[in-house]
Chains A and B, each alone.
Chain A
Amino acid sequence: EPEVTQTPSHQVTQMGQEVILRCVPISNHLYFYWYRQILGQKVEFLVSFYNNEISEKSEIFDDQFSVERPDGSNFTLKIRSTKLEDSAMYFCASSVKAPNTEAFFGQGTRLTVV
Chain B
Amino acid sequence: QQQVKQSPQSLIVQKGGISIINCAYENTAFDYFPWYQQFPGKGPALLIAIRPDVSEKKEGRFTISFNKSAKQFSLHIMDSQPGDSATYFCAARIYGQNFVFGPGTRLSVLP
How many pairs of A and B residues are in contact by the CB < 8 Å rule?
59
Closest-CB distance, B111 to chain A (whole angstroms): 25
Question: A102 at interface (Cβ–Cβ under 8 A)?
Answer: yes
B32 neighbours in A (Cβ, 8 Å): 100-101
> B98 contacts which of A33, A98, A102, A108 (Cβ < 8 Å)?
A33
CB–CB B97/A100 < 8 A: yes
Question: A82 at interface (Cβ–Cβ under 8 A)?
Answer: no
> A42 contacts which of B43, B96, B97, B103 (Cβ < 8 Å)?
B103
Which size bracket describes the interface of A in this complex?
A: 20 to 34
Contact pattern, A 21-63, Cβ under 8 Å of B = 1, otherwise 0: 0000000000001010000011111001000000010100000
How many B residues have CB within 8 A of the partner chain?
23
10 A-B contacts (beta carbon < 8 Å): A43-B91, A44-B101, A56-B98, A98-B95, A101-B93, A102-B49, A104-B45, A106-B43, A107-B42, A108-B42
- Assuming A93-B43, A102-B46, what are 15 further A-B pairs, CB within 8 angstroms? A42-B103, A42-B104, A43-B36, A43-B101, A45-B99, A45-B100, A56-B97, A100-B98, A100-B99, A101-B32, A102-B34, A105-B44, A105-B45, A107-B41, A108-B43
Binding site for A on B (CB under 8 A): 32, 34, 36, 41-46, 49, 89, 91, 93, 95-104
